[in-house]
Amino acid sequence: MAEHNELGKLGEEMAVQFLQKNGYDILETNWVFQKAEIDIIAQKGTVLAIIEVKTRSTVDFGLPQDFVKPKKIQLLVKAVNEYVISNDLEVEVRFDIISVYKENNQFKIEYLEDAFFYF
């Protein structure tokens, strides 16, 4: 497996642990619909959190959350609509980003709730 793939997998595992420690139930990881992949689908109360995980070995070229582009957002919206409908859920949907990056040889986690909106 390429080094960047291993880093991404590590970031997603760290994100899952972070969410569980903060009271979220993890419903799915790496859920795929058509061309979209949702990194983590988690629930806390009546909120369904759709979480994009961005992992970087450095922030020299920008924060990980800066790399979530409009096309990715469109794909996530399409996928989550399918997920909610197919599972007959009555929830509030929120799009979050968990940013994992290395700083001074330690990983840092930033959790951005309501990171982006859709219409």
pLDDT of res. 119: 45
Consecutive H or E run containing 110? strand 106-112
* Cα distance between residue 66 and residue 60, in whole Å: 12
Q: Where are the domains of the chain?
A: 3-63+90-112
Residue 99: enclosing H or E segment and its boundaries?
A: strand 92-103
| Pair 72, 54: CB distance under 8 Å | no
Task: Give the architecture-level CATH label for domain 3-63+90-112.
Answer: 3-Layer(aba) Sandwich (3.40)
Six token digits for residue 70: 């409009």
- What average pLDDT does range 87-115 have in this prediction? 90
The reported pTM is 0.87
Of 112 and 4, more confident: 112
Q: What is the DSSP string of 23-60?
A: TPEEEEEEEEETTEEEEEEEEETTEEEEEEEEEES-ST
* 105 or 17, greater pLDDT: 17
- Flag whether pLDDT at 4 surpasses 80: no
Q: What is the pLDDT of residues 25-48, one digit of tens each?
A: 999 999 999 999 999 999 999 999
